[in-house]
Amino acid sequence: MESVQHDQPVSGNPDTINAGEHVFIKMPSDNVKCIVLKPNSNVSLGKFGTFKANDIIGRAWGNTYEIYDKDNKTRIYHLDEINEVEETKNNNREIIDDSSAQKLTLEDIRALKNEGLKGELTGEEIVNKLKESHSAFDKKTAYSQAKYLQKKGKKFHKIFTPIKPTTYFVNEYFYTKNPVKIRDIRMDTLSQLLSYSNVHSGCKILVVDDTQGMIVSALAERMGGQGTILGLYDGDNPHYDVVKYMNFNQEILDSIKVLSWLRIHRPADEKTPDELQDVTQLSGKDLEGYHRRVKAYKIVEESRQILFESNFDALIVASQYKPESILEKLLQYVRGSRPVIVYHPHKEALLETSTWMRRCPDLLAPQLTESWLRKSQVLPGRTHPEMSTWGSGGSLLSATKIINKPVQAALTKRERLAQEKRNAEAKKLKRTHGETEKAETVVITELITTTTTTTTTVSTQDSVGPPSAVPVVLEGDKETEDERLVKRVKQE
Amino acid sequence: MSESSIEKNVPVVKQSFARYKAHNIIEEGDLVVVYLSKENMVIIRVQDGEYFNCKFGTYKHADMIGLEYGTKLGSSTGRGFLYLLYPTPELWTLVLPHRTQILYIADISFVMNFLNLRPGMSMIESGTGSGSFSHSIARTLAPTGHLYTFEYHQERANAATKEFAQHELSDLITVECRDVCKDGFGLENMVDAVFLDLPAPWEAVASAKKAFKQDKIGKICTFSPCIEQISRTVTSLSENGFVDIQMYECLIRFNEIRVIPMWTIDEAMEKQRAIEKKRKRAVPREVSSKIKSARTEVSVDDSNTSSTVATPTSTAGLDSEESTSATMSLSTTEADVVPEPRERIDPQNITVTKLPMEQRGHTSYLMFATLPPALQRPSLAEQKANQGGN
């Protein structure tokens, strides 16, 4: 119950298409279909035909196949070279945009399509027929002709490309098909998250992932089974659905650990399986149940131990819940000089978190970024950005965990002199009244008010937080930054 | 997280950009990124007896030894402080000595994701340049992968070799001084991915094709700032059998976050009323004090309208102020039922973002292509047919 659920862990050659694994099939229409490849089965691609799974199992990734005869045989299809389009004198002055140009009727085309499905005609032959019976084809510009052939090819060619699930491809697939599932995280945003997190083989990462495991998958791929990912989840089970599409081997799957928010701290009434039942009295189904419980209990205990070692190399939060409420609880488990990253589909949701981070004594230099991505069509002589591009891809808020020790150095010279004066007075006061404790508190509170220029910099830590954290922020550098900015503005 | 958690009997592993240290403690000889501000970071090697000087003070290296990475350190003079950060490829990109134009995080991240870089892969990079991208690649391919990086400029190649050695990346990166456009890569059937940041990437495509592992899919990326370069590269890629050519541009936008006050117009009016009221109350007292100082009536009028010390103000300014006070006094009589107006009103603060006035508009075009496997492995159907034949 506590582990990630998988259909079947795979351990085949990562360079070849293996039976039982997830395969993404790209069709001429650019639509992508995701299947689990079962040996001896037939895979239907609708109007693009049907192929036999055995024909591609064992092959290397990266080929395109053509379904070519009545028995649904497949062969490797070599995509044409991209050729320069010859300029002609044609233009669209003579072209009347109506359906009369195509001499074939809808019924004729349907018949052609059926012949194609049966394997009696190839896609190329159908496209040629369409072209021949198009009265205005010769009047079209060369660019337009190329576009026409490409468009028709997308409808009638019976070719397909199996694609290996990688972080990028799976991300693109879900971002296109169902962005809500992965909380709108786009490929470029995810790539930046991976960079900022400095994830690598052997590191240990704490993650709160509500992108259905998109982030966990990306991290696991980059770690290659070395190191640990601990995912905190709420609800009955972790919903890391994306993980199962990645064809991870057992080693990588084992590097993903999970722990329920409810079980972080052992509840007072939690009993070990041994406390609940006497193993010597059990038999049959009861004994099986006992072993299951022991296993589940061990997994929880192991995850707790991983958490309480408090040596995480990154904290990544992509939760539907208020980010600062999570950071407050989890920052204490992260090492010094390590990245803390929050992802959210809505930038506005991160604004409060950002101001919270600025006040947090354990975080340095929070930075709110969003990414912009544009794809272009690239063909010789016909290169241009695509007409529609992606909108939002989500926002990242990243900072560095620091070990905050209050240092005298945070004071300016004037403040230091003032403090020395106050200390001297306090000593005097102490001598005269003997009210030791009171005098000291006065000095401390005064110190706080003098060292902080804005009201926001005094933050009293809420219940949870690293024991080393001192509830005084001495934001010397942050203020100098601001001051510098003000100066610059003034100069301008 | 404190010194108590130092694992005992950890084998001596040198600090590297490709991994963290098991105990996360700064030791003699370590590299540390000194953080002064976002724009001001310096990388230093910690050596007992050395000092780090900057405008925020003097810091003894000896004081850094034994501290956990990420610690805030005060200067010995007590006048400043800084943070001691662990060197990562991302920080290196910000502090490295520039020998050429370098790649930044948006492009680095996108290329690594698209090429599906992960531990154990081997890759070609050309040119090495300042080694910004090389660090990120090496970190991601570690511990079992390998990066072959090519640079035709002898001094840059030497500098990069030296840097990779200092950063404990030598076992992950091989630097070669070579003009790959003229002489090729000299590698065959070796790599999974190729990255070309060259003035004429099309000249290196044919040689790159040979370098790819022949029995599996290969991915190539070219990085060119000009659209004309893209046209020539596309042709070359296509001629050499690369397919699925795609082109992207990726930019990152850094938001500035500000908290700004938002008064309602009612609050603003209330404030104004309070000032008006105060001004009226202030008149008799000021008059009496001015009379005492034996000033003329004219100067008294001045001090009535201006709250600052009486300096002769322009008559135009006076007129306008008088006229506003007239209209305001009208509204105060209407609003007599309203409680005492407050002069100090805490507005509702809202948090806003602003993009910098100037930001990057273009870095380079990222063009990707796929090389299908040249050598074919038999499919399951073919294997079965062969078995049947035997």
- DSSP letter for each residue of B12-71: ----BTTB--SS-B--TT-EEEEEEETTEEEEEE--TT-EEEETTEEEEHHHHTTPBTTB
What pLDDT does B177 receive? Answer: 97
Angstrom distance (rounded) from CA A399 to CA A364: 6
A232 in contact with B, Cβ within 8 Å: no
pLDDT digits (tens, 9 = 90+) for B294-326: 444 444 344 343 333 333 433 343 444 444 444
Instruction: Judge: B81–A57 Cβ closer than 8 Å, yes or no.
Output: no
Give how far Cα A197 sits from Cα of A90, A285, B24, B109, B196, Å.
54, 46, 16, 11, 25
Instruction: Judge: A407–B73 Cβ closer than 8 Å, yes or no.
Output: yes
Instruction: Judge: B68–A336 Cβ closer than 8 Å, yes or no.
Output: yes
Binding site as annotated, residues of B: 151, 197
What pLDDT does A129 receive? Answer: 80
Query: Which residues, including other chains, have CB under 8 Å from residue B247's CB and lie 6 or more apart?
Result: A375, A376, A377, A378, A383, B230, B365, B366, B367, B368
A477 in contact with B, Cβ within 8 Å: yes
Q: Are residues A440 and A393 in the same domain?
A: no
Closest CA to A303 of A269, A263, A340: A263
A470 in contact with B, Cβ within 8 Å: no
What does the block give as tokens for B245?
Answer: 């050519």
Q: Are residues B40 and B101 in the same domain?
A: no
Q: Are residues B312 and B283 in the same domain?
A: yes
Q: Are residues A393 and A314 in the same domain?
A: yes
Q: What is the 3-state secondary structure (H, E, C) of B232-296?
A: HHHHHHHHCCCEEEEEEEEEEEEEEEEEEEECCHHHHHHHHHHHHHHHHHHHHHHHHHHHHCCCC
Angstrom distance (rounded) from CA B19 to CA B13: 10
Instruction: Judge: A39–B105 Cβ closer than 8 Å, yes or no.
Output: no
How many Cβ atoms from other residues are within 10 Å of residue A78's Cβ? Answer: 12
A18 in contact with B, Cβ within 8 Å: no
Q: Are residues B307 and B288 in the same domain?
A: yes
Q: Are residues A100 and A212 in the same domain?
A: no
Give the chain B residue nearest A14 (alpha carbons): B216
Low-confidence ranges of chain A (pLDDT < 70): 1-11, 82-88, 95, 97, 406-416, 432-492
Q: Are residues B115 and B21 in the same domain?
A: no
Q: Are residues B124 and B219 in the same domain?
A: yes
Among A residues 401-460, those touching chain B with beta carbons less than 8 Å apart: 401-405, 407-413, 416, 456
Phi and psi torsions of B48, nearest 5°: -55, 135
What sign results for the dihedral spanned by CA atoms B304, B309, B312, B317?
negative
Give the chain B residue nearest A202 (alpha carbons): B19
- Chain A CB contacts of B114 under 8 Å are 168, 187, 191
Instruction: Judge: A194–B113 Cβ closer than 8 Å, yes or no.
Output: yes
| Domain endpoint, select from A163, A181, A206 | A163
What does the block give as tokens for B341?
Answer: 């107006």
pLDDT digits (tens, 9 = 90+) for B219-241: 999 999 999 999 999 999 999 99
CATH code, B178: 3.40.50.150
Q: Are residues A301 and A382 in the same domain?
A: yes
What does the block give as tokens for A148?
Answer: 């026409």
Q: Are residues A158 and A183 in the same domain?
A: no
Note whether residue B356 is domain-resident: no
% of chain B exceeding 70 in pLDDT: 81
Angstrom distance (rounded) from CA A206 to CA A341: 11
- Chain A CB contacts of B85 under 8 Å are 337, 400
Note whether residue B99 is domain-resident: yes
- Chain B CB contacts of A377 under 8 Å are 247
Give the chain B residue nearest A398 (alpha carbons): B254
Give how far Cα A277 sits from Cα of A41, A274, A285, A302, A483, Å.
47, 5, 13, 21, 66
- Identify the helix (H) or strand (E) that includes residue A376: strand A363-377
What pLDDT does A145 receive? Answer: 80
Helix axes B132-141, B105-114, angle to 10 degrees: 40
Angstrom distance (rounded) from CA B122 to CA B211: 11
Q: Are residues A459 and A321 in the same domain?
A: no
- Enclosing domain of residue A155: 18-163
Instruction: Judge: B253–A371 Cβ closer than 8 Å, yes or no.
Output: yes
Q: How many domains does chain B have?
A: 3
What pLDDT does A116 receive? Answer: 77
Contact between A198 and B139 under an 8 Å Cβ cutoff? The reply is yes
How many Cβ atoms from other residues are within 10 Å of residue A492's Cβ? Answer: 6
pLDDT digits (tens, 9 = 90+) for B238-282: 999 999 999 999 999 999 998 899 999 999 999 889 889 888 877
A480 in contact with B, Cβ within 8 Å: yes
Who among B24, B255, B383 is closest to A336 (CB)? B24
Note whether residue A220 is domain-resident: yes
Note whether residue A13 is domain-resident: no
Note whether residue B257 is domain-resident: no
Q: Is B313 left (phi over 0), alpha (psi -120 to 50) or beta?
A: beta
Note whether residue A156 is domain-resident: yes
Q: Are residues A433 and A447 in the same domain?
A: yes
**Dihedral angle computed from the Cα positions of residues B77, B83, B89 and B92, in that order, rounded to the nearest 10 degrees:** -30
| Burial (CB count within 10 angstroms: exposed 0-12, middle 13-18, buried 19+), residue A178 | exposed
Q: Classify each residue of A28-46 as buried b or exposed e, where b means 16 or more C-beta atoms within 10 Å of its C-beta.
A: beeebbebebeeeeebebe
- Chain A CB contacts of B384 under 8 Å are 54
Q: Are residues A379 and A421 in the same domain?
A: no
Q: Are residues A128 and A215 in the same domain?
A: no
| Domain endpoint, select from B87, B110, B142 | B87
Tally the C-alpha atoms within 13 A of residue A378's C-alpha that lie toward its C-beta: 27
Mean pLDDT of chain B, nearest integer = 84
Angstrom distance (rounded) from CA B254 to CA A217: 26
Closest CA to B64 of B56, B73, B55: B73
Note whether residue B138 is domain-resident: yes
What pLDDT does A411 receive? Answer: 53
Contact between A33 and A25 under an 8 Å Cβ cutoff? The reply is yes
pLDDT at B142 over 70: yes
Angstrom distance (rounded) from CA B230 to CA B240: 15
Note whether residue A204 is domain-resident: yes
Note whether residue B145 is domain-resident: yes
Angstrom distance (rounded) from CA A37 to CA B6: 48
Give the chain A residue nearest B383 (alpha carbons): A58
| CA B353 to centroid of chain Cα atoms | 17
Instruction: Judge: A373–B248 Cβ closer than 8 Å, yes or no.
Output: yes
Note whether residue A9 is domain-resident: no
Angstrom distance (rounded) from CA B165 to CA A150: 51
What pLDDT does A470 receive? Answer: 37
Mutation pick from A42, A200, A219, A306 vs chain B, by most beta carbons of B within 10 Å, is: A200
Query: Which residues, including other chains, have CB under 8 Å from residue B389's CB and lie 6 or more apart?
Result: none
pLDDT at B114 over 80: yes
Q: Are residues B373 and B245 in the same domain?
A: yes
* Nearest-neighbour CA in chain B from A65: distance (Å): 12
Instruction: Judge: B70–A81 Cβ closer than 8 Å, yes or no.
Output: no
Who among B90, B376, B384 is closest to A59 (CB)? B376
Note whether residue A242 is domain-resident: yes
| Domain endpoint, select from B54, B87, B120 | B87
Who among A164, A336, A476 is closest to B71 (CB)? A336
A399 in contact with B, Cβ within 8 Å: no
Q: Are residues B78 and B108 in the same domain?
A: no
Who among A203, A335, A409 is closest to B79 (CB)? A409
A45 in contact with B, Cβ within 8 Å: no
Note whether residue B355 is domain-resident: no
What pLDDT does B284 receive? Answer: 59
Give the chain B residue nearest A223 (alpha carbons): B119
Q: How many domains does chain A have?
A: 3
β-pairing, B40-45 vs B31-37, is antiparallel
What pLDDT does A475 receive? Answer: 40
Question: Which residue has 């400029």 as its token pair?
Answer: B153
- Enclosing domain of residue B163: 92-252+362-389
Angstrom distance (rounded) from CA A159 to CA A169: 19
Note whether residue A1 is domain-resident: no
| Domain endpoint, select from A383, A401, A419 | A401
Who among B108, B239, B253 is closest to A195 (CB)? B108
What pLDDT does B278 receive? Answer: 86
| Domain endpoint, select from B72, B87, B102 | B87
Tally the C-alpha atoms within 13 A of residue B73's C-alpha that lie toward its C-beta: 29
* Nearest-neighbour CA in chain A from B322: distance (Å): 32
What pLDDT does A477 receive? Answer: 44
CATH code, B31: 3.10.330.20
Q: Are residues B77 and B151 in the same domain?
A: no
* Nearest-neighbour CA in chain B from A435: distance (Å): 29
Q: Are residues B182 and B267 in the same domain?
A: no
Question: Which residue has 């930001």 as its token pair?
Answer: B359
| Domain endpoint, select from A139, A163, A187 | A163
What pLDDT does A138 receive? Answer: 79
What pLDDT does A110 receive? Answer: 83
| Radius of gyration of chain A, Cα coordinates, nearest whole angstrom | 32
Tally the C-alpha atoms within 13 A of residue A403's C-alpha that lie toward its C-beta: 20
Note whether residue B153 is domain-resident: yes
What pLDDT does B11 receive? Answer: 54
Q: Are residues B108 and B216 in the same domain?
A: yes
Binding site as annotated, residues of B for S-adenosyl-L-methionine: 151, 197
Note whether residue B357 is domain-resident: no
pLDDT digits (tens, 9 = 90+) for B335-378: 455 567 777 788 889 899 999 888 889 999 999 999 999 988 88
Q: SS3 for B72?
A: strand
What pLDDT does B342 receive? Answer: 77
Q: Are residues B35 and B124 in the same domain?
A: no
Query: Which residues, including other chains, have CB under 8 Å from residue B39's CB and lie 6 or more apart?
Result: A481
Give the chain B residue nearest A85 (alpha carbons): B235
Closest CA to A102 of A136, A128, A145: A136
- Chain A CB contacts of B5 under 8 Å are 309-311
What pLDDT does B19 receive? Answer: 95
Q: Are residues B110 and B157 in the same domain?
A: yes
